[in-house]
Structure 1
Amino acid sequence: MTRTTLHRTDWLADTIRRHKAGAPVGVYSVCSAHPTVVQAALAQAGADGSYVLIEATSNQVDQYGGYTGMRPADFRELVFGIADADGFPRDRVVLGGDHLGPNRWQHEPAEVAMGRAEVLIAEYVAAGYTKIHLDCSMSCADDPAVLPDEVVAERSARLLRVAEDTVRRNGSDGPVYVIGTEVPVPGGAHETLGALTPTPAERARRTIAAHRAAFAAVGLADVWPRVMALVVQPGVEFDHLQVIDYQHGATANLRHVLDGEDHLVFEAHSTDYQRPEQLRELVEDHWAVLKVGPGLTFAMREALFALAMIETELLPRPARSNLIEVVERRMLAAPQYWQSYYTDPDPLAQRTARRYSYSDRLRYYWADDDVDAARRTLLDNLDRVGIPLPLISQYLPQQYDRIRAGELAATAQDLVVDRVRDALRPYARACRAGADIPEGDR
């Protein structure tokens, strides 16, 4: 296969192949449906000369619209529309579906939830997503609290059958798959964390064996080489106020589990807020796929709140967007996305968590009509009056340095996008982004 004619799925396959051959390379997965984050991810990949992996999660995008109002085909068109506008080649965009399974319908009986999950999988595959995370690890209403590996694997095989049947009907190439039973909760931990223990090596081996057997039992043993990654817990996580950092020494046994698997690497979830050196160690230790989501909207919120503070210095109150106040009002009016997470009874602690927590439940509100209108007003206001450089220095010092160096324009949206890229740059370095595409094909 020539590296200059890779299919979208093959960019991933090429990265995995080289990682398994001993090259310390990987790929980071951008798990966010916000257009600004997508724009930042494309800009970063463009600067690196790499492909980009963007994944929609099952709570963001599903057959009913998720919390973003988008179905899988809608999100695909959003990403491709931004790529086209920015001149980023579509054939370097890999789309994935994250936590696809009964996760959204855990409050329903398993058979009902799995029926909905089948429709979900079919829509993602039909829409052309080429990386599919089969996640049946969560218990449903009539399940025990912890599901055995065999049950998770059997349900994953059921969804795999739907995916492969959809592929055959559409005449498309088969996607690659991600499996696992120790799958971190989407979007960070619900509770305050202590220490985390990585997945025991024997547990990971049992998970692989259970899935291999379940796939064979439904006549899909031939699909196994397209299973590209196993989700296990490397001992990284974040909650509202703290981050648990990766400890290289704690995974000495686990990271050798896949030594005999020619096409399998580990996928690490909840890597948001890991320090650059920990991200690099994860890739070197065979977590060749690094997932990041809330950390990106966290960075976007930092930039937008910084711009809101600048706005208060430049415009009288009647003309301001009042973005921070609008966000607070809408979060209080529709508390379902944060109320069960931020349980400290102290009102000040709750307000701080709503605005600033690592788990970033605020991300659910950027699609709210009032919040989005305030965001747009903020950007328009600042572009109309112009942002004095000393104020950029005060509130966004890294962006100020790039403006002074002639690397960045001082427009409001460019400042926000670049701040999100600050959260992506360590991932690009850790994964050695840009090593995936030959110089002549960039």
Structure 2
Amino acid sequence: MTRFLTNLAGARRAGRPCGIASVCSAHPTVLRAALRRAAKREGPLLIEATCNQVNQFGGYTGMTPADFIAFVETIAREEGVIREKIIFGGDHLGPNPWRKEPASVALDKAAGMVEAYVAAGFTKIHLDASMGCAGEPVALDDQTVAERAAALCAIAEQTARRVNLPLPVYILGTEVPVPGGADHAIASVEPTAAGAARETIAVHRAAFAKAGLSDVFERVIAFVVQPGVEFGSDNVVAYDPPRAAALSALLDEEPTLVFEAHSTDYQTEAALAALVADGFPILKVGPGLTFAYREALYALDLVASDIVPAYGDRPLAQAMEALMLAVPDYWSGYYHGDETALRIQRHFSYSDRIRYYWTRPEAAAGVSALLAALDGVHIPETVLHQYLPGITPEEAGSAEDILIAAVDRVLAIYDNAAAIRP
């Protein structure tokens, strides 16, 4: 299935651009929605895990790369999706989770992470060594980044051969906020300068050649650049094609490459389609999917409060507020303002840092109580229209169906923009 990815550059040059959504989430409902959609259409499904989320030590999900693949495969079997249809990608694989440690330590752990990802069966590998470690500048120069990426690539190649798995395809470079998202308001974003992207590609090509990996560089399918899209806590910077025209034109010099666009969450279908046409066909989306999930959950919390007498007054929202106040680690450094502003951001921010809490026991218990309260309960069409106007009565067979339909609406936008339809 990675052939689909290696064909993206050629499809664009032939005047038939197509793309693919990269589903960056470990949430079971998001994954089920993506797999259910994939079961109804041709073409691959790209699912990615990030370095902080999944690594050899468990990450914040508690899953190793092998655990993550097994987790997805279990849901895939339930949804009737064959394993061969799924491309597993590793995102921002490098020293980021350990960047507060000395470079030698962080890079050794990064090598172990890359090895674990490739050995587990991940075949799309984004190598990101752009961040400085303890005692280093926050942002490193291209040469250092490229040399470190080449060293990690050598580990990936050795691992794939050792365990007799297909050799990966690679994504290199990064000009986006570190994994986890921006930690400040975003007014505008400057696209990567074409000259800077050209230099990044050239330096990486030379570093791979110096490391004896020239043949491997032929499996580099994309570079991560900034096309001028981003989202802050309460706003979205929309894609503006003319501002990225010079960057897009650079691909005419690199016929085997495309660009990978991160932080495409909340873009319109028209904007996403323009990204695909302009050479950014790999569209990363994560928080936008769990944002849709949270929207639907909170709407159902209101529905149950209104139509299930013993349910209470929005107990799920209250439980999440108590949990986030008790464990502020995932939001306190990212949200800013007075107490009202912080409360609004905790629940409704586009950054969606509430997504880090759904697997905690308190949150899981709240969601289970909500689904149990609505189990077998008919939601009147008028109530559905009040709280979930985007959901049709046909989609509202159960609360779980509603949650999946809400996520699927976002995924449909990506499929339409990427010219992949059920």
Shorter-chain TM range is over 0.9
RMSD in angstroms over aligned alpha carbons? Answer: 1.5
Match in the other structure for 2:406? 419
Select the residue among 36, 60, 69 that pairs with 1:67: 60
Amino acid at match of 1:248: P
Match in the other structure for 2:39? 46
CA shift at 1:319, angstroms?
6.6
Amino acid at match of 1:410: G
Select the residue among 268, 272, 282 that pairs with 2:261: 268
Going from structure 1 to structure 2, the CA distance change for 1:49 and 1:395 (only over 3 Å counts) comes to: farther
CA shift at 1:23, angstroms?
1.0
Provide the TM-score with structure 2 as the length reference.
Answer: 0.97
CA shift at 1:321, angstroms?
7.8
Select the residue among 196, 221, 235 that pairs with 1:242: 235
Structure 2 counterparts to residues 139-178 of structure 1, below 5 A:
139-178=132-171
Match in the other structure for 2:420? 433
Select the residue among 353, 356, 374 that pairs with 1:382: 374
Amino acid at match of 2:412: R
Structure 2 counterparts to residues 340-379 of structure 1, below 5 A:
340-344=333-337, 346-379=338-371
Provide the TM-score with structure 1 as the length reference.
Answer: 0.92
Task: List gaps (5 residues or longer) in structure 2.
Answer: none
Residues in 2 aligned to 1:340 and 1:69: alpha-carbon distance in whole angstroms: 22
Structure 2 counterparts to residues 122-271 of structure 1, below 5 A:
122-271=115-264
Amino acid at match of 2:359: A
Amino acid at match of 1:429: N
CA shift at 1:289, angstroms?
0.5
Residues in 2 aligned to 1:393 and 1:155: alpha-carbon distance in whole angstroms: 53
Match in the other structure for 1:303? 296
Q: 1:19 touches 1:288 (CA, 8 Å); kept in 2? A: no
Going from structure 1 to structure 2, the CA distance change for 1:299 and 1:432 (only over 3 Å counts) comes to: same
CA shift at 1:320, angstroms?
7.7
CA shift at 1:249, angstroms?
0.7
User: Aligned with 2:218: secondary structure?
Assistant: helix
Residues in 2 aligned to 1:283 and 1:200: alpha-carbon distance in whole angstroms: 19
User: Aligned with 1:88: secondary structure?
Assistant: coil
Q: 1:303 touches 1:419 (CA, 8 Å); kept in 2? A: yes
Amino acid at match of 1:40: A
Higher deviation after alignment, 296-305 or 384-393: 384-393
Residues in 2 aligned to 1:86 and 1:116: alpha-carbon distance in whole angstroms: 35
The answer to whether the aligner puts 1:88 opposite 2:71 as a matched pair is no
Deviations 1:411-432 (A, max 9, x none): 1011001101111111111101
Q: 1:181 touches 1:207 (CA, 8 Å); kept in 2? A: no
CA shift at 1:288, angstroms?
1.0
Task: List gaps (5 residues or longer) in structure 1.
Answer: 1-7, 436-442
The answer to whether the aligner puts 1:285 opposite 2:272 as a matched pair is no
Going from structure 1 to structure 2, the CA distance change for 1:383 and 1:318 (only over 3 Å counts) comes to: closer
Deviations 1:11-39 (A, max 9, x none): 32244432343212111100000010001
Match in the other structure for 1:4? none
Deviations 1:34-60 (A, max 9, x none): 010001111222333332100011111
Select the residue among 11, 24, 27 that pairs with 1:31: 24
User: Aligned with 1:77: secondary structure?
Assistant: helix
User: Aligned with 1:339: secondary structure?
Assistant: coil
Residues in 1 aligned to 2:110 and 2:148: alpha-carbon distance in whole angstroms: 10
Residues in 2 aligned to 1:340 and 1:100: alpha-carbon distance in whole angstroms: 23
Select the residue among 307, 319, 323 that pairs with 1:326: 319
User: Aligned with 1:259: secondary structure?
Assistant: helix
Deviations 1:395-423 (A, max 9, x none): 111212xx3xx4x3421011001101111
Percentage of pairs with the same residue: 50
Amino acid at match of 2:215: D
CA shift at 1:63, angstroms?
1.0
Q: 2:231 touches 2:265 (CA, 8 Å); kept in 1? A: yes
Amino acid at match of 1:209: A
Residues in 2 aligned to 1:117 and 1:48: alpha-carbon distance in whole angstroms: 36
Q: 2:304 touches 2:311 (CA, 8 Å); kept in 1? A: no
User: Aligned with 2:376: secondary structure?
Assistant: helix
Going from structure 1 to structure 2, the CA distance change for 1:151 and 1:82 (only over 3 Å counts) comes to: same
